[in-house]
Structure 1
Amino acid sequence: MGIPAFGLGTFRLQGQTVIDSVRTALELGYRAIDSAQIYGNETEVGQAIAEAGVPRGELFLTTKVWIDSLARDAVVPGLEASLRRLRTDHVDLALIHWPSPGGQVPLSATLDGLLEARERGLVRQIGLSNFTVALMREALDRIGPGVLATNQVELSPYLQNRRVAAFAREHGLHLTSYMTLAYGKVLGDPVLQGIAQRHGATVAQVALAWAMQLGHAVIPSSTKREHLTSNLKARALHLDEAEMAAIARLDRHERQADPEGIAPAWDPA
């Protein structure tokens, strides 16, 4: 199965809030749910899925291996713990959440651990997150083409990550956009507002449609039913060439996610 073009993100959602968000999203027809070990919400995500009663075969679940579980002998136990929390026997996609800070754990060791997890049936697909061009190249050199499902990166109208996108496209590596709305900062953008007005759409729908039209998957999060419902409509929105070009000019190289001590040396703008 390929990466679903549209899913629900759960970053920063905790406790009953994430239970309600996932449950509502599933009621509305969402079928891809994105979590991570460090989010501290896998248990609640698993509870919401169990209570929703959606057949497991209809769902696409993603989790991410945190930096304390990147060692060769830590990947599988870490994912087994994730599966217990998520109440499932497998996830559809497991990502390296961040490259090992300072390269402390060799990337080859983590990739070997993910391949073992896949061989054991704990995960169906494996991939990357927050990987730069150099790190993507290292991963592809190690593991070969066609093995990695995606690289999940911050990508929004204000951070278009063109070097990463171009390299990924050239090497057949799919991208998943997170923070597509730049923590809501793009919602007040006059260019996006103008496009939204022409389409009778919301700015969020325009930004999400833009990313999907570039070929990326999106995983917006929301705690409100009306926003969850509205975001889904981005799938039916088509922007013309002039509108796509106008959004391309909004790039500010403005990054929201840059955790000190964890983030790699980003590619230049």
Structure 2
Amino acid sequence: MDQLLTLNNGVTMPAIGLGVFQSPPEETAAAVETALGLGYRHIDTAAGYGNEREVGEGIRRSGVDRDDVFIETKVWVSDYGRDETLHAFDKSATKLGVEHIDLLILHQPMPQHFERTVAAYEALEQLLTDGKVRAIGVSNFMPHHLTALRAETEVVPAVNQVELHPYFTQRAVQEADSSLGVLTQAWSPIGGITFYPGWGEERTSVLEDPTIREIAGAHGRTPAQVMLRWHIQQARSVIPKSTNPDRIAQNFDVHDFELAPDELVSIDDLDRGVRGGPDPDAVDPSSWDLEIPEA
């Protein structure tokens, strides 16, 4: 049984979710169905991933009751703005085949056009008030983005989903989240961004790190399981992605062992302070050629 995390508005969310970033649409439904059959009850997707429809299909195929599945998705920047974001909810809900979404978050802070980000978040607040979403949040927000958002909006984000793995622990972000009562959620929790094809020339897989491998050997676990356990013991949400049934199962099988305090510190100390994904302050995502189609 997965551990539950309580968000700042009292809503509970399973600690482990299946991520579907870069999962091909034709493989996504099967991956979701497999995950739910194994006991997952949290699925993370995004309008920008282009596979919300297949996530909904996988949930229906699983036979698991909709109300037992925590569905998280993201609004892409092309749909930022109050009216645009309200419509973005409609598009996502229709593709997912649901009436409400459990957690709806903004995909990027987009500081280059922050007035649109604020308007989009105000739409999320309205959706929360209207009962169309159970919780709202943000993704890739750095501490100064959170401060700017809090100055202009009412509801504290429930979640901040950021790149976070042993080579990039984002301690300042974690501290800012904690000070506000925001749950930190890790994308790329096992360091996939450090070895994804096309993400830079010099890639070093966290899965191959000697410290991680030593700890994994001591517990009879895989390096991925050790990293996921590291996150969970430090009260973070994780959304490991895979379409491989064996890896989907392994990523969920992390509740029956515990890392020692010195092992947690050893993993913390692997931080290199080097971001693998795009820097939200340096890259304007509205310049990317990505528009979200109608449902």
Q: Given the two structures, how large is their TM-score scaled by the length of structure 2?
A: 0.85
1:231 counterpart residue number: 251
SS in 2 for 1:85: helix
SS in 2 for 1:127: strand
1:266 counterpart residue number: none
1:10 counterpart residue number: 20
CA contact (8 A) 2:47 2:74 kept: yes
State how 1:67-86 maps to structure 2 within 5 Å: 67-86=77-96
Q: How many residues align structurally?
A: 263
Once residues 52 and 232 of structure 2 are traced to their aligned partners in structure 1, the CA distance between those partners, rounded to angstroms, is: 26
The answer to whether 1:100 aligns with 2:120 is no
Q: Deviations for 1:188-239, whole angstroms, at most 9, x for unmatched residues?
A: 0110000000011110001011111111100001111111111111233311
1:150 counterpart residue number: 159
**Runs of 5+ in structure 2 lacking a partner?**
1-10, 196-204, 286-295
Once residues 117 and 240 of structure 1 are traced to their aligned partners in structure 2, the CA distance between those partners, rounded to angstroms, is: 42
State how 1:154-165 maps to structure 2 within 5 Å: 154-165=163-174
SS in 2 for 1:30: coil
CA contact (8 A) 2:111 2:145 kept: no
Choose from 30, 48, 51 the match for 1:41. Answer: 51
State how 1:177-192 maps to structure 2 within 5 Å: 177-183=186-192, 185-192=205-212
CA contact (8 A) 1:9 1:34 kept: yes
CA contact (8 A) 1:70 1:100 kept: no
Q: Deviations for 1:231-261, whole angstroms, at most 9, x for unmatched residues?
A: 1112333111110111111001122211663
Q: Deviations for 1:66-108, whole angstroms, at most 9, x for unmatched residues?
A: 0011111111111101000000001100000001250253433
Identity of aligned residues (%): 35
2:122 counterpart residue number: 112
1:57 counterpart residue number: 67
CA contact (8 A) 1:11 1:39 kept: yes
The answer to whether 1:258 aligns with 2:266 is no
**Runs of 5+ in structure 1 lacking a partner?**
264-269
CA contact (8 A) 1:43 1:86 kept: yes
CA contact (8 A) 1:10 1:221 kept: yes
Choose from 217, 220, 237 the match for 1:197. Answer: 217
Could you tell me how far 1:54 is from its partner in structure 2?
0.8
Q: Given the two structures, how large is their TM-score scaled by the length of structure 1?
A: 0.93
Once residues 148 and 104 of structure 1 are traced to their aligned partners in structure 2, the CA distance between those partners, rounded to angstroms, is: 16
Could you tell me how far 1:31 is from its partner in structure 2?
0.7
Could you tell me how far 1:144 is from its partner in structure 2?
4.5
Once residues 132 and 218 of structure 2 are traced to their aligned partners in structure 1, the CA distance between those partners, rounded to angstroms, is: 46
How much is the aligned-residue C-alpha RMSD, in angstroms?
Answer: 1.7
CA contact (8 A) 1:210 1:244 kept: yes
